[in-house]
Amino acid sequence: MTNRYEAMPHIESRVIPVDPFDLVIFGGTGDLARRKILPGLYRRFIAGQMPRDARIIGAARGDMDSDAYRKMVSDAIAEFGGQTKGSADTLKSFLSRILYVTIDARGEAGWSELQELMKGTGKVEAYYFSVSPALFGDLAERLQQWGMANSDARIVVEKPFGRDLETAKELNATLARYFEEDQIYRIDHYLGKETVQNLMAVRFGNMLFEPLWNAQYVDHIQITVAETVGVGGRGEYYDKSGAMRDMVQNHLMQLLCLIAMEPPARFDPDAVRDEKLKVIRALDPVLPHHIVRGQYEAEAGDENAHPSYREAVGDPRSKTESFVALKTHISNWRWSGTPFYMRTGKRMSARSSEITVVFKETPHSIFGAEAGQHRNVLSIRLQPNEGITLGVTIKEPGPGGMRLIDVPLDMTFSEALGDDAEQVDAYERLIMDVIRGNQTLFMRGDEVEAAWAWTDPIIQGWQTRGEVPKPYDSGSDGTVDSRELMRRDGREWREVAP
């Protein structure tokens, strides 16, 4: 694919090196480390962003030496590194920066060895908690006991951050005993996606959109995060969580914040997070008839077809939702009267994450009734094929009078910007931000608590009313009543398209 913008000198690959660092990955042998963190770090290494003396230290209970761990890392890169392979020498050089410590978050094993490794290095120290959330408190406490919770250290905390407001508060309080808020990096990897940042660039870097970004011009906004996978091997965890906790409370609400927030005064961590927090606090409670839940049915077919949700989690009476769709409002001047619709689910027809801003119809059609009423639709695709499309109305070419059609102005980033645009995965970007000390794309403690304060009553309502999720077909776009939720308002969901 030729780079359409190759004559534009300002769009080019630029790698800003970060300060020398030591990154300790607790849970360095786990699924997340192997699939995302380690291949991501390798890509940053290939890009020339990792300083010469940076080290990556894997830490878990599994008994192995650094050589055995390097083999594991090399295998993970081969399996999950995508097309980014690098030469054999490059890989060797990357692996030479990798160490492993056998450590138990709840015991004494390994801590003096880690302490010795981290002593007086003068580098940025980052500790990635890629372990079960039940161990976050133990790790924070151990780091302090062993003198590693110094004021420059950073901890990276994975989701889920609590399972309700109470547990999130407890976790915040526990971490706050050992670390300051500006040392805590709560990851929501959706915030690391290229398009999410582009959403801010489009909104606040152009004059075109912001004047129209309000209830006067926007009819409604849709946010869809559809997955084709089922619960897979995560059934036990997922069944205690469900789509509301696993997806809406974090990823979808973060997207809602970015699309709806007021322009921050500066693109800096607290200015951006203050504005996001205001959005969450202005969200109306969700009325019971404005939210629907579903559970996927078994796929039709032979014995290899996917099982139903209940079969997958091994509980024929499970009331946990694998799909949720809801309508909410933001009670402030900008958005009063504009509904926000959100839906997410597993085993849907396509893997697709998209935010759609549907503008109002023109107030009057000068072309007569037969030309129909048209609206502009701005669609921001997060995955796959990250990009932004603006639907505009034009005249259908050719003779036959003034017939109007909608056509997309399409900016698929991979096409527009060449290969460089595709290379930085969310995890890579976020880890480099941790090293830089930039918290803009991480959730602050009060944001997480506010999000739980909004979701808790919804979940409690389901429990109190004993509501059972409705079935939906695997490979569909969710439950029938999710479509009704829209149709009642005279609207339609966007097609879930790959």
Task: Give least dist CB 113 to ligand NAP, A.
Answer: 13
- Positions in 61-100 near ligand NAP (CB under 6 A): 61-62
Please identify, among the stretches 154-162, 209-217, 219-227, 364-372, the one whose residues bind ligand NAP according to the rule CB under 6 A.
154-162
Interface residue with ligand NAP, options 54, 56, 103, 153 (CB under 6 A): 103
Binding ligand NAP (rule: CB under 6 A), the pick from 4, 85, 106, 289 is: 106
Is 158 one of the binding residues for ligand NAP (CB under 6 A)? yes
Q: Which of 251, 290, 329, 374 is catalytic?
A: 251
Nearest-angstrom CA–CA distance, 286 and 288: 6
Decide: is 354 part of the binding site for ligand NAP (CB under 6 A). no
Phi, psi torsion values for 391, nearest 5 degrees:
-80, 125
- Pick the binder of ligand NAP from 18, 38, 91, 105 (CB under 6 A): 105
Q: Does position 104 bind ligand NAP by CB under 6 A?
A: yes
- Contact status, residue 81 vs residue 39, Cβ threshold 8 Å: yes
Q: Does 437 participate in binding ligand NAP (rule CB under 6 A)?
A: no
CB of residue 417 to ligand NAP, shortest distance in Å: 27
Q: Which stretch binds ligand NAP (CB under 6 A): 60-68, 87-95, 347-355, 432-440?
A: 60-68
Give, as ranges, the residues between 111 and 150 that touch ligand NAP (CB under 6 A). 130-133, 135
Site for ligand NAP in 31-50 (CB under 6 A): 31-33
Positions 247 through 276 that interact with ligand NAP (CB under 6 A): none
**What does the alpha-carbon distance between residue 222 and residue 375 come to, in Å, rounded to a whole number?**
15
CB atoms within 10 A of CB 28: 29
Angle between helices 38-46 and 426-436 (to 10 degrees): 70
Q: Which tokens in the block code for residue 4?
A: 């359409």
- By CB under 6 A, is residue 159 in contact with ligand NAP? yes
The DSSP result for 159-194, as a single string, is SP--SSHHHHHHHHHHHHHHS-GGGEEE--GGGGSH
- Nearest Cα neighbor of 118 from 148, 98, 150, 141 is 148
Q: Is 412 left (phi over 0), alpha (psi -120 to 50) or beta?
A: beta
For residues 243 and 322, the answer to whether their CB atoms sit within 8 Å is yes
Q: In terms of CB distance, is 297 or 428 closer to ligand NAP?
A: 428
- CB of residue 25 vs ligand NAP: minimum separation in angstroms? 8
Q: Which residue from 60, 91, 171, 326 is in contact with ligand NAP, where contact means CB under 6 A? A: 60
User: Where does residue 64 rank: exposed (0-12), middle (13-18), buried (19+ CB within 10 A)?
Assistant: middle
Q: Looking at 147-155, 157-165, 253-261, 402-410, which segment touches ligand NAP (CB under 6 A)?
A: 157-165
Stretch that binds ligand NAP, among 25-33, 162-170, 403-411, 479-487 (CB under 6 A): 25-33
Q: What is the dihedral of CA 391, 397, 401, 405, to 10 degrees?
A: -20
DSSP element (H, E) containing 392: strand 387-395
Q: Is 306 assigned a catalytic role?
A: no
- Nearest CB to ligand NAP, comparing residues 29 and 352: 29
Distance CA 198, CA 202 (A): 6
Q: Which residues does the annotation mark as catalytic? A: 251
Site residues for ligand NAP per CB under 6 A: 26-33, 60-62, 103-106, 130-133, 135, 158-160
